[in-house]
Amino acid sequence: MSNGNSLFDFYFYGISDFAVNQKKNDSTISPKHNIFENDKEFVLEFVLAGLNKEDISVNIDDNVLIVNAERKKIEDVKYIRNETYFGKYQKKYVLPDDVDCENIDVQYRDGILKIVILKTNTKQILKKSFEIK
């Protein structure tokens, strides 16, 4: 994180880390990730070495970026030593109002998932009135 002077710090702090163990002996997936910005874009990079891109999904739901990944254990083998993790992982980030949610670039190369979100000059502010009961 930076020094806290950016809206980026607030929005991209993340609203949840969710990891589910598939079996008692499985380790929790907790991939390392970096988030940074420049004048034009926000970039998120996740270290997901050893996964196939079919094991990863990236979605937006109600202005929340959701990253899911799953490392499946190889069945019918006896592990002599196992230092990798298995299971499901989910990370959610509330996106700032001034990003282009329609044109997000997602790439997975050499074990790195890279998500590039362009900034826009217009803020999309939702206005809603609530009934007081």
pTM above 0.95, yes or no: no
Q: What is the CATH number of the domain that holds 62?
A: 2.60.40.790
Residue 126 lies in a domain: no
Tokens linked to 120: 């826009």
CB 62 within 8 A of CB 125: no
Q: What is the pLDDT of residues 105-131, one digit of tens each?
A: 999 999 999 999 998 877 654 333 344
DSSP string of 47-87, one letter each residue: E-TT--GGGEEEEEETTEEEEEEEEPPPSS---S---S--E
Task: Report the domain count for the chain.
Answer: 1
- The DSSP symbol for 119 reads B
Structural domain containing residue 16 = 7-118
Report the mean per-residue pLDDT for the chain: 74
